[in-house]
Structure 1
């Protein structure tokens, strides 16, 4: 049986899944709530299965909706790429670069690299999306991103992977007693609250191993998904953090200072490209700029 799926149906379904409610999806799409509800019902009819459990106005996604959501997101991204390419051809633009990154580089590095790049390459459009490492690897493998930046190791085989290894730093308030030290060692962390990185991160495993070997007791009372958020937690007084040099050494004027740590703790960033897809010339130029920006974040000890 033929199945007709409209672009509007995909957009409405994706909006409800992303926003978590019909009302917020309606606001995002500039539609009325009844229009969104009708579109969802029509989509379910076209598909032949239910997408949401409805109870007193609350829409809870079914298992089938969860399975379909990922494919819908990829499909909409592909459609946006088609639209972008068509606009580029019609307008005589010189190129589009699609970059996907997790939080490590997206907040305190890429915005500046992009801005500097576009001062020279004024006709290049750059789309930056922030997602999980697993999804980014999937997008690069599916040719939906030209360049991906994630934490190593890489979960999907077959991609071209360039590992950038950098030393981590300790970030702390500028008025903290340990800020008087030029280099911090394990004994300095005794009885300190150290903000963890969510998800059994390799940095935390290194810190825990070093502290255990040195019989140093640290406390993990809070965790953060992004290094930049961990830095803000330090600013708020939640403890100290050991994070990557990109976010730790950034000069943000926020009252946070960084100190090298011995023995060295490393963070590995993976730059992903698809070996089956030749990078457009603008993307190659951007990748060169990115490589030059990363070595400048190595702390001297």
Structure 2
């Protein structure tokens, strides 16, 4: 297979390919772009000729991406988004306005903290175009490192020499239970009381989940039935539907309170650690600085939340793992 360079890749070709991937057909893509169907077909054929490999399997009107097409699509989406941001930033510079901003946060922090953070900063610091991305923690880090996000708010651990970590907060996990649950009358719920209940909790074994598992191990019991989810809001919705009790991080529960659910303390310390990150050595705009400060204040409004000393990134691991260990090992 050889790469052919008869034409350079054209933005219109990339738009045509992205539109076909979104619409699932050339007809739909042509409608989305306001172009003729033959034009879209020709643009994709030219793109494939230029790349030297097929992007789509064609079977009558049905179109399926090839495995290379799927991988290339991820790059095209990123490129088109970047071009859109450049256009928005160019317009903002022309108007002497704050530049387009992208904030990446884990789903729980995007729902539970970020709205209040954005509402707390001076309105004229919020740019005309603001992009909020809810991503897995690992993807928040990658977006900040790649500078496709200006600011990240993510659960920890976060260790990377390319990151500036502005603050780290630690807040105790809580139990979310239905209003009519017998345990709703307790101020503090014992994990022993939950052993025979269905537990709804987070799935990622490398983050909060391992702390929850450790807490059950300390009590000498383990839940018999589990539903694991990848977002706290899903867990809370399942509690509301009567499917179990949830052990979750506190940001979503307090930030997006749901009717029919009460929040109670747990008798074991299960710390949730999170922080604000940006690319190392990148000057902070007034908007990003304001968001970092507002996010710190919002974090501290969570009951039982405290800030940890970061002492510079070289001792970050000690701060996160060492302090978490002392809290987890603390008597209930």
Give the alignment's TM-score, normalised by structure 1. Answer: 0.87
Q: Is the 8 A contact 1:3 1:47 kept in 2?
A: no
Cα distance, 1:55–1:196 mapped onto 2, change above 3 Å: farther
Which structure has the bigger radius of gyration? 2
Alignment of 1:259-298 (within 5 A): 259-298=264-303
Partner deviation per Cα, 1:211-241 (whole Å, 9 max, x = no partner):
2332324134422211111111111122111
1:54 to 47, 51, 58: 58
| Other structure's SS at 2:193 match | helix
Seen in structure 2, the aligned counterparts of structure 1 residues 174 and 49 have a Cα distance that, compared at 3 Å, is same
The DSSP-based 3-state class of the residue aligned with 2:189 is coil
Q: In structure 2, how many angstroms separate the alpha carbons of the residues matched to 1:165 and 1:42? A: 53
Aligned length: 300
For the pair 1:21 / 2:19, whether they are aligned, the reply is: no
The change in CA–CA distance for 1:137 and 1:69 in structure 2 (over 3 A counts) is farther
Given the alignment, which residue of 176, 183, 187 partners 2:188? 183
Deviates more, 1:64-73 or 1:269-278: 64-73
Q: Is the 8 A contact 1:134 1:155 kept in 2?
A: no
Q: 2:250 aligns with which of 241, 245, 261?
A: 245
State the shift of 1:99 in Å.
0.7
Does residue 44 in structure 1 map to residue 23 in structure 2? no
- Alignment correspondent of 2:142: 138
Tell me the secondary structure at the aligned position of residue 121 of structure 2. helix
Gaps of 5+ in 2: 306-331
In the TM superposition, residue 293 of structure 1 has moved relative to its aligned partner by: 0.7
Equivalent residue, structure 1, for 2:154: 150
The counterpart of 2:260, out of the listed 255, 259, 275, is 255
Using the size of structure 2 for normalisation, the TM-score is: 0.80
> Quick one: which of 93, 97, 103 aligns to 2:97?
93
Counterpart position of 1:233: 238
What is the match of residue 172 of structure 1? 177
Q: Once structures 1 and 2 are overlaid, which stretch shifts more, 250-259 or 264-273?
A: 250-259
CA distance in structure 1 between the aligned counterparts of 2:247 and 2:31, rounded to whole angstroms: 40
**Does the CA-based 8 Å contact 2:116-2:298 persist in structure 1?**
no
Q: Is the contact between residue 171 and residue 257 of structure 1 (CA under 8 Å) also seen in structure 2?
A: yes
Does the 8 Å contact 2:140/2:154 carry over to 1?
yes
Unaligned 5+ segments in structure 1 are: none
- Higher alpha-carbon deviation: 147-156 or 133-142: 147-156
In the other structure, the counterpart of 2:9 is 5
Q: Does 1:66 align with 2:92?
A: no
Match of 2:316?
none
1:181 CA drift (Å): 0.5
Cα deviation, residue 167, structure 1: 1.1
Counterpart position of 2:310 = none
